[in-house]
Amino acid sequence: MNKKNLLLSCVSALLLISNISYAKIKTIRFALEATYAPFSATHADKELDGFDVDIAKEICKRLKAQCTFRDEPTGNMIPLLKAGKYDAWIGAITVTEERKKEIAFSDVYLSSTAKLMAAKNSTFNAAHIEIKGKTIGVEAGTSYIPYIEKMYGKTVKIQTFPTGHDSCQALKDGKVDAVIDDELVLKHWRLDHGGKEQYRLIGLPAKHLSLIKQQYAIAVAKDNITLVKEIDRALSEMKADGTYAKIIKKHF
């Protein structure tokens, strides 16, 4: 075999391997929280939309896989992924060392920051001396719970809710003094509920920056290494060809 034929054979083999890799994944069953705008939300026409929805659809497009989506509270993520009910979980999912013990993650594809939100006319302050005895609302099963515990110990009361939307509603109803969530989510919710005239965002103490910095990735069952690799490849391609930047611009 001459060098030209050998080269063509190698290229053909690589293309075949690539096609086989894509063909392994026919469907990706995504779970997400459909009340978590701007990452994922259901509109009045019941159409799913949001940054993470577009990311997931683009991944499936590149992998030539069919996407399905189902609304689930983030607190159910680990047991349902481990049980095989879903293939992947998307929607501002924070990578933590504790979660890594239970599930696998794709490459990080977005960074954000956690903040507190309180009524504008409240005296709530994030400083230790001011927060003592206050009640903070937080979505059950999220990484914000251990963050609050590490930052404030037992000086505050943590009240959990099924979704982030529910915790914000509790703030609106006066059932909690403040809520903690992703800054982008809180800003989006605030826009629909009176804006800056009604609610203010509160930065957390700078010394806890390592805790409040959010690194988001797609969660997958720990033994599904093939899916993780394919998702990572799709994310890398999206960033390289400008598609990722377009999705960012659309939603943020």
Task: Tell me the fold of 3-109+217-251.
Answer: D-Maltodextrin-Binding Protein; domain 2 (3.40.190)
d(CA 137, CA 145): 9
Residue located via tokens 């919710």: 189
Residues 161-173 have pLDDT tens digits of 999 999 999 999 9
Residues 67-111 have pLDDT tens digits of 999 999 999 999 999 999 999 999 999 999 999 999 999 999 999
Residue of 144, 183, 182 whose CA lies nearest to 160: 144
- For residues 197-214, average pLDDT: 82
**Class in CATH terms, 112-214:** alpha beta
Residues 226-244 have pLDDT tens digits of 999 999 999 999 999 999 9
d(CA 238, CA 120): 40
pTM equals 0.82
Residue 162: is the preceding peptide bond cis (ω within 30°)?
no
Domain ranges of the chain: 3-109+217-251, 112-214
* Amino acid at site 115: K
* Amino acid at site 165: H
- Measured in residues, the chain has a length of 252
Phi and psi based region of residue 157 (left: phi greater than 0; alpha: psi -120 to 50; beta: remaining): beta
Residue of 46, 65, 39 whose CA lies nearest to 218: 39
pLDDT above 70 coverage of the chain, percent = 87
Domain 3-109+217-251 identical in fold to domain 112-214:
yes
d(CA 111, CA 86): 24
